[in-house]
Structure 1
């Protein structure tokens, strides 16, 4: 789905990944679920692009519902995969999340699990190799993505600011659809290792100019970065 001249989304409000396109090629932000590979290739074709145009994958963190097809791109197509150094072990499957489920509602949980299973969520392949990044790094990839450290959901959670796409990719620093309760709108994401740290990290987004705030789960948000942060804190 095209969101803007340089911006595309694959997946849906349950699990999403994003593509940034410039004349230099394509940057993938998060890799969703393994079974979203077909959606990736379909969207690339609609853009007049192929897998050969992908220059890199930037992960907002190392959880399995963001790793998806990343190792397939790296292994079979030589695409480098970037993740914050504090989540590198998580992305390689050497460390597991510490978070608990918290409040749940049966319907939304079943929809989340059903969608994840239908898209290969139970057969995610961990990364064998990663390129590590730090807060403040600007990557030599299409769109010049800038890394914003957002520890909390995981130690190495990041947001990714891409000015040419007028977007901040937030990963699970926040959500606009709580996959365990079905609640909509900006709010804290579930499965967060350190909720207090995650809320503190949100201040790092408030001064970053962008029209789009794009979570890994939930609808794209264009109602203002400061307003989204306010709503998350209120929630």
Structure 2
């Protein structure tokens, strides 16, 4: 396995594309498989081509692309790769319509965004600026492509190894890891990251109960317990279960911060709570900040700690046992990081 590092100045930064090569099934000889594809920018495509050249390949040699999820920084170049090489593009069935560019699915996602932006209490002018930002960066998703959907539990024979797709939604509806039990490693996309915590709530507005669903995915990754995780951004994670447990505890602390913010502010929108948590927001974070606040408020509402009235949430339990609203990860290891 080889890794190609790609720049990404719009989103989290430093995307990874993983290169797997080896014997193919049947009589097809050797094959070249990528895990994720990078964002659709000319300079990033050049970086991908240069990285493949370092390993003796070119984009036209790619046989398959395994996508961890639909976000532009992971799937954006999949269509261009397919157009040049004829590669098969695999993505979880929940994300397949967006990667394929299905017009009805894309329009529904945009409609849901507008609905959520109002529900989160984002001011009208800021909403308009956010929509402009998303529209201006729509090309980062690249060309639509023909996709081959998969489901959790499906297996891929790749270069003499078997990768199992493990569905771990939360950050995205179709987010999946590719687990190789024999090598004791997994390609995890944005399930866990070594520096930041993956956004929940804003990153994919299609996900119901985003924080609760993400917490369950963290527990599933802890149960899987691979020795090594290869994330979608930055560097290898050597204790994935410990990192997942750290992120889970981080969300307990963030929920406590949301309770404190409501106690100080009184009835508030997710936008107002996000300002208390994160301060001024710019670019993609205008989406991610209130989305993250909403995910925690929604979790508290489900537990009866807060009540929602229109766009505002009111604290009804002045002293909740927040830790009791989350499962115990079952391990004591803590993997620290720098950043949010």
- TM over 0.5, shorter chain: yes
Against the structure 1 CA distance between its residues 22 and 84, is the aligned structure 2 distance closer, same or farther, given a 3 Å change threshold?
A: same
Equivalent in 247, 253, 278 of residue 232 of structure 1: 247
In the alignment, which residue of structure 1 is the partner of 2:162?
144
Bigger shift: residues 190-199 or 67-76: 190-199
In the alignment, which residue of structure 2 is the partner of 1:133?
150
User: Does the CA contact (< 8 Å) of 2:230 and 2:237 recur in 1?
Assistant: yes
In the alignment, which residue of structure 1 is the partner of 2:34?
28
Equivalent in 6, 9, 12 of residue 11 of structure 1: 6
> 5+ unaligned residues in a row in structure 2: which ranges?
8-12, 24-29, 121-136, 205-209, 251-340
Report the TM-score, using the length of structure 1 for normalisation: 0.74
In terms of Rg, which structure is larger?
A: 2
In the alignment, which residue of structure 1 is the partner of 2:194?
176
> What is the CA RMSD across the aligned residues, in angstroms?
2.7
In the alignment, which residue of structure 2 is the partner of 1:215?
231
Q: Which has the higher contact order (CA 8 A, sep 6+)?
A: 1
Query: Counterpart of 2:94 in 1: which secondary structure?
Result: helix
Against the structure 1 CA distance between its residues 167 and 38, is the aligned structure 2 distance closer, same or farther, given a 3 Å change threshold?
A: farther
CA distance in 2, matches of 1:170, 1:55: 21
Equivalent in 208, 211, 214 of residue 198 of structure 1: 214
Report the TM-score, using the length of structure 2 for normalisation: 0.53
Q: Does 1:64 align with 2:93?
A: no
Aligned-residue offset at 1:88: 0.9
Against the structure 1 CA distance between its residues 128 and 48, is the aligned structure 2 distance closer, same or farther, given a 3 Å change threshold?
A: closer
- Alignment: residue pair count: 204
> 5+ unaligned residues in a row in structure 1: which ranges?
1-5, 103-119, 179-186
